[in-house]
Amino acid sequence: MKISLIKPHTGGVLGLEMITFVEPLGLEYVAGALEPEGHRCQIVDLRIDGVDAGVARCRAFEPQVVGLQCNFTTERFRTVEVARRIKRELGDVFVVVGGHDASRDPAWFLDRAIDAVALGDGEEVMPPLLDALEGGRALDRIPGLMLNRGGEPHFTGHAPARRDLDRLPMPARHLIRRYAPHYYFNYHKPLALLETARGCPFKCNFCSVWKFHESTFREKSPERVVEELLAIDADHVFITDDIFWMNVKRARELARQIKAAGIKKSFKIQTRTDIICRHPEIVEMWKECGELSIFLGLEKIDDEGLKSVNKSNKAANNDRAIEILRDLGVGYTPNFIVDPDWDRRHFAELRRWISRTGSYNSGFSILTPLPGTDLWDEVKGRVTTGDWELYDIAHAVLPTRLSQEEFYAEYAGLWRHALKVRYRERGFLRTYLQLGFALATRQVTLEALKKGMNLSQRFSRPETFLRGHRRSAVRLAEVADLGAGPLAAQPAERTAA
C-alpha cells in the first residue's frame, strides 16, 4: 500500500515551536517499519511546504492511507483541520492519527475525518494495520487502535511494545532529505534527532513521557546507536532521550564507541543534575566526542518546589551540577517551571537565583496541565481555556494569582533578567563577537541567528503573551466544532482567579 505520513503545520502561538524546529523522527521510524514490508511511504512536513503545497504533494502521491502525527497538545486543532481537508480532497482514503498527544487522549480525536487513532509505538501498530487494510480484514483484532465507529470509540486492546529496541528498523531518513537543511535547535542548524532510549522511570506530575511508555525505560545498545549516528549527515545532533546517561555503564561504553568510530558531532542532550553530581567523569568523556551542551530541567530552586512537581531530586544537586559544568567548560541551559499561582516574591527569588549562579541561558516554562498527565487529572476542573494552541508552556491556562497583566509583566521580566545576566557574565561585546565567530565559521546560520535574537526580544515583552489570549476567543469560534474533548468548543476564557 501507499501511505503519506504528515506533520501538521505550525501554529500561531509560541512555546517550543519557536525554540526548536526538528524533524518528525517518529514518522521516519514508522516509515522504516513499513518499507521493508513492501509498502511505499512518503513524509510531508506541512511546516515547511505549507498546507496547500503539502496537501498537493500528498494528493499527487495517491496514497490509500494517510497518517497524521500529533505529538503536542498545541497541534490538536491543526491535526483535525488537515484530516478534514485530506478527506475532502483525496476522497476514500483511510486517515489514522498517532503520536504522544493522540495516545494520551484518543477520544478527543473522534471526528468524522479520522478513521482510527494509533496508540503507543507506531512501529508496532502501523504494519499490521496496513496489512489488514490491504487484505480487506477486520481491524478489530489489530491491537493498539481506537477505531471510530460512527462517532463512538472502539478500542482494540493494548499495543505491543518490544523490549529490545535494537530490533527496531532504522529510521527512513531518506524520506526527509529535502527538508533536512531546515531543522534547527536554538541557533544551530542543520540539526538531526537521535533516539537512544524510550521512556523514563521517574514520575513528574507535569510530564506525559512516563505515562506514554507506562513507566518503562528501554535502551538501544551502543552498537545500534553508533550505527544510527553514522547515518546522520548533520553536524548538530539532539538526543531525544528525556534522561540521557541513565545507565552509567552504557553511557561510558557509548562514548568509547563513538570516539572509536571517529564520530565528532555537536551533541545536545537532556539529563538530570543528580546524575552529573554522581558521575562527573561521564561529562568529561562526552566532551571528547565533540561539542557538548546540556539541557537541565531544574524546574524549581528549592526542595519544596521540586516536591510539588514530584521531581525526585534535590536543589543542592542543581547547584552542584552547575558548578561542575562551569568548571568543565560545558554549556548548559537550565529550565524552570513558573507556577501561575506565584506572586511577585516567587519571581524575585528566581531572579536572585539566576544572578547568584550566573545561569544566563535559563528558560522558563509556565506550569501547563496536559491531557493524560497526573497534573491534568488533578486540576482539569480549573483550566481557564479550551484553546489548545495556548497549551504551549508559554501561556497560563490555569488561574493566575496576580492579574493576567501583572503575571506576564513578571514572566517577561524573567527573560529580560536572564539577558542582563548574560551581558554581565559574558560582556556585551564578547557575546556579539562569539556570535559573529559562530556565524563566520558556519556553526550557525544568519537565519537561525535572527530567529534566536528575535525570540529573546519577543519573550521580554508582556504583550507577546497577552496577544495570544486576546486572539483566543476568535480562534475558538473558528474551531468550535473540532474535536470531541469536553473543552473543545468552550467559547471564551476565564482570565484570573
Residue 309's region, left for phi above 0, alpha for psi from -120 to 50, else beta, is: alpha
Q: What is the dihedral of CA 185, 30, 109, 94, to 10 degrees?
A: 130
Measure Cα distances from 89 to 45, 78, 82, 111 in Å: 18, 16, 10, 17
pLDDT-based confidence at residue 489 (cuts at 50, 70, 90): very low
Rounded to an integer, what distance in angstroms lies between the CA atom of residue 287 and that of residue 284?
5
Q: What pLDDT, on a 0 to 100 scale, did the predictor assign at position 15?
A: 55
What residues contact 138, with CB distance under 8 A and at least 6 apart? Answer: 132
Q: Angle 319-323-324 (CA atoms, 0-180°, nearest 5)?
A: 115
**pLDDT band (50, 70, 90) for residue 449:** low
d(CA 367, CA 387): 16
Mean pLDDT along residues 449-477: 81
The predicted structure's pLDDT at residue 408? 98
HEC profile of 412-438: HHHHHHHHHHHHHHHCHHHHHHHHHHH
Of 42-46, 181-185, 400-404, which range is least confident?
181-185
pLDDT of residue 2: 98
Q: Give residue 161's pLDDT.
A: 87
Q: Could you say which DSSP state residue 339 is in? A: P
What is the band of 437 on the pLDDT scale with cuts at 50, 70, 90? low
Domains, the chain = 2-155 (3.40.50.280), 179-466 (3.20.20.70)
Mean pLDDT taken over the chain: 90
What is the predicted pLDDT for the residue at 166?
97
| pLDDT tier for residue 64 given thresholds of 50, 70 and 90 | very high
Q: Are 69 and 31 a contacting pair, CB within 8 Å? A: no
Is the peptide bond between 127 and the residue preceding it cis, with omega within 30 degrees of 0? no
The β-bridge partners of 386 are none
Identify the pLDDT of residue 440: 67
In 134-221, DSSP assigns E strands to 145-149, 152-155, 184-185, 191-194, 197-199, 217-219
Please give the Cα distance from 33 to 364 (Å, whole number): 37
Please count the CA atoms within 13 angstroms of the CA of 364 that sit on its side-chain side. 27
Instruction: Inform me whether the pLDDT recorded for 49 exceeds 50.
Output: yes
Task: Determine which helix (DSSP H) or strand (DSSP E) holds 290, and give its type and residue range.
Answer: none
Three-point CA angle 85, 89, 90, nearest 5°? 110
Which range, 157-166, 292-301, 479-488, has the best average confidence (pLDDT)? 292-301
Residues 99-128 have a mean pLDDT of 95
Q: What are the pLDDT digits (tens) for 374-418?
A: 999 999 999 999 999 999 999 999 999 999 999 999 999 999 999
> Among 153-167, 183-197, 323-337, 424-438, which is the least confidently predicted range?
424-438
- Residue 216 reports pLDDT greater than 90: no
Percent of the chain with pLDDT over 70: 89
The three-class DSSP label of residue 446 is helix
pLDDT of residue 194 exceeding 60? yes
* The predicted structure's pLDDT at residue 474: 85
* Residue range 314-353, pLDDT digits in tens: 999 999 999 999 999 999 999 999 999 999 999 999 999 9
Q: Give the pLDDT mean for 225-230.
A: 98
d(CA 101, CA 382): 20
pLDDT at 147: 97
Q: Are 150 and 141 in contact (CB under 8 A)?
A: no
Would you say residue 18 has pLDDT above 70?
A: no
**Percentage with pLDDT > 90 across the chain:** 76
Sequential DSSP letters for 216-251: -EEE--HHHHHHHHHT---SEEEE--SSTTSSHHHH
Average pLDDT over residues 425-437: 60
- How much is the average pLDDT of 144-158? 94
Q: CB-hemisphere CA count at 13 Å for 54?
A: 24
pLDDT top residue among 427 and 135: 135
Q: CA 338, CA 414: separation in Å to the nearest integer?
A: 10
Average pLDDT over residues 173-190: 88
**Residue 450 above 80 pLDDT?**
no
Predicted confidence at residue 438, as pLDDT, reads 59
At 379-391, the pLDDT tens digits run 999 999 999 999 9
pLDDT of residue 108: 95
* Alpha carbon distance 155, 56 (integer Å): 32
Name which of 376, 371, 392 is nearest 99 in CA terms: 371
How would residue 13 be classed by pLDDT, with cut points 50, 70 and 90? low
pLDDT at 487: 36
Task: Supply the pLDDT for residue 214.
Answer: 80
SS3 content of the chain, % helix, strand, coil (to 5): 45, 15, 35
